[in-house]
């Protein structure tokens, strides 16, 4: 290795070390900003020119004030550069981080062609002694087979002897902000002792949380997938119990609040999982099929979660039916398009698919999100009005899709006066209470909240 563990620990020496971060969507860009702030010279490498242009202007893909401030600071001070030229970036880099999401094809099989292409491009420009770290969920074995073999073939170097190789699983979620990312555990494994020592020292610069080394790379890959699958299974249980509560006239939220006070009990919130954004289960299922076995619980959980969006359509139709209207040509206003509350983040949002499902059933849809301007919504392809007042006029039903704090402060009595009578509301984020909103004249439906009376 051309760099030593000691070099990473001394801020003056870090200034002479160049790091390339390949794949600069949210997690990759956040990592790049943290590295630049630690003193490294950082190249953000992405094939998408629009992402590179935004980074160059100091604009992150999601509107997070902390991340934007950190990005602007390091771009202005010249420690962080963005480029589409992977050759120029990697050639001068002592450390290369790869954030390459795995695509799932129409047959629900993992497509590693993008990872293979990037490993080939990195390998062709990798200099002896560099350290390559893969981040993001991969099926167990991919790092030490496809990635390693492609890097070796392209570079003419051997892993461990000619370059270092490690895999890191960042235990975070798409709803985690900058502070959460810097506090989360990083779990890693490496191909040899030298790679391990360097990777551990390097990762300690990125997090205040635990840096945990496990016995081998395959185990580290499994940990990332198991965490995702565990979350999906817990979500599926919550979603199925939410269905039951609606039928039984029970408020799931009240039940959950009490159950979670009991030892060894934890119920998740019902959650719509974007069908294209949560594909980790398919990585694991494909691997187990190669071993001639099936993960029945994993696939059942995925099936339950995939069905939730159709259930939300049912809630909308049921609310309209209780108002004496058919779904066809009903006017629906969807409040919120973000992936998570109070943040301008679209990656992983289910709203596009939801709107398409509403359209397929003959409904007319508008959207409103206070975090996005009218022009931004229009540019994203959303049918939008300039103000909330304009958006609610003549609507049959409101769907609170994202529980932004601003929605909790809305004057629903006034909104109801602007809508068709009787107005309907479907709450997916526990923003309103059934009794209160029904007193304001609305027909109410809520995900898992089977306490409506109309």
Partners of residue 424 on adjacent β-strands:
397, 443
**pLDDT over 90 (residue 439):** yes
**pLDDT over 70 (residue 231):** yes
- Residue 172's pLDDT is 56
Q: How confident is the model at residue 175 (pLDDT cuts 50, 70, 90)?
A: very low
Instruction: Summarize the confidence of residues 338-343 as an average pLDDT.
Output: 87
Domains 5-214 and 308-446 share a fold: yes
Question: Domain spanning 5-214 has what CATH number?
Answer: 3.40.50.720
Tokens of residue 262, six digits:
């009991």
Residue boundaries of the structural domains of the chain: 5-214, 308-446
**What proportion of the chain, given as a percentage, has pLDDT over 90?**
77
Q: Describe the crossing of helices 217-248 and 252-259 by its angle, rounded to 10 degrees.
A: 130
Q: Describe the crossing of helices 148-155 and 113-124 by its angle, rounded to 10 degrees.
A: 30
**pLDDT over 50 (residue 90):** yes
Report pLDDT digits (tens) over 122-132. Answer: 999 999 999 99
- Residue 174's pLDDT is 46
Tokens of residue 47, six digits:
């094939």
Distance CA 90, CA 156 (A): 15
Q: How confident is the model at residue 59 (pLDDT cuts 50, 70, 90)?
A: confident
What pTM was computed for the model? 0.87
Instruction: Summarize the confidence of residues 428-441 as an average pLDDT.
Output: 95
Q: Which CATH superfamily is 308-446 part of?
A: NAD(P)-binding Rossmann-like Domain (3.40.50.720)
Distance CA 61, CA 427 (A): 27
């Amino acid at each position: 290795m051309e760099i030593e563990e000691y070099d990473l620990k001394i801020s003056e020496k870090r200034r002479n070390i160049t790091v390339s971060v390949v794949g600069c969507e949210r997690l990759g860009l956040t990592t790049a900003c943290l590295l630049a702030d630690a003193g490294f010279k950082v190249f953000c490498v992405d094939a998408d020119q629009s992402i590179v242009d935004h980074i160059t202007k100091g604009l992150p893909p999601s509107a997070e004030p902390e991340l934007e401030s950190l990005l602007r600071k390091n771009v202005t001070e010249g420690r962080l550069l963005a480029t589409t030229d992977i050759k120029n970036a990697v050639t001068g880099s002592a450390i290369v981080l790869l954030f390459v999401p795995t695509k799932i094809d129409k047959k629900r099989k993992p497509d590693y062609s993008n990872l293979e292409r990037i490993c080939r491009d990195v390998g062709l420009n990798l200099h002896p002694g560099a350290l390559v770290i893969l981040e993001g969920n991969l099926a167990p074995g991919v790092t030490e087979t496809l990635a390693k073999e492609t890097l070796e073939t392209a570079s003419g170097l051997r892993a461990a002897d000619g370059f270092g190789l490690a895999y890191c699983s960042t235990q975070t979620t798409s709803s985690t902000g900058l502070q959460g990312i810097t506090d989360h555990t990083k779990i890693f494994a490496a191909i040899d002792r030298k790679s391990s020592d360097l990777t551990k020292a390097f990762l300690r610069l990125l997090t205040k949380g635990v840096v945990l080394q496990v016995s081998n790379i395959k185990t580290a890959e499994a940990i990332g997938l198991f965490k995702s699958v565990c979350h999906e299974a817990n979500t599926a249980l919550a979603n199925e119990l939410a269905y039951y509560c609606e039928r039984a006239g029970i408020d799931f939220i009240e039940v959950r609040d009490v159950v979670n006070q009991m030892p060894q009990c934890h119920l998740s919130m019902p959650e719509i999982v974007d069908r294209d954004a949560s594909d980790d289960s398919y990585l694991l299922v494909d691997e187990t099929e190669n071993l001639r076995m099936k993960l029945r619980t994993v696939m059942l959980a995925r099936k339950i979660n995939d069905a939730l969006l159709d259930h939300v359509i049912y809630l909308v139709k049921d609310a309209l039916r209780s108002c004496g209207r058919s779904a066809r040509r009903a006017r629906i206003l969807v409040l919120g398009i973000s992936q998570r509350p109070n943040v301008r983040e679209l990656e992983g949002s289910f709203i596009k698919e939801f709107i398409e499902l509403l359209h397929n059933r003959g409904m007319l849809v508008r959207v409103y999100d206070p975090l996005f301007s009218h022009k931004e919504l229009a540019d994203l392809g959303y049918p939008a009005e300039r103000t909330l007042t304009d958006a609610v006029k003549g609507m049959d039903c409101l769907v609170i899709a994202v529980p932004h704090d601003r929605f909790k402060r809305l004057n629903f009595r006034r909104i109801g006066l602007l809508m068709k009578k009787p107005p309907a509301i479907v709450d997916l984020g526990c923003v309103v209470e059934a009794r209160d909103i029904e007193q304001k004249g609305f027909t109410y439906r809520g995900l898992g909240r089977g306490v409506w009376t109309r």
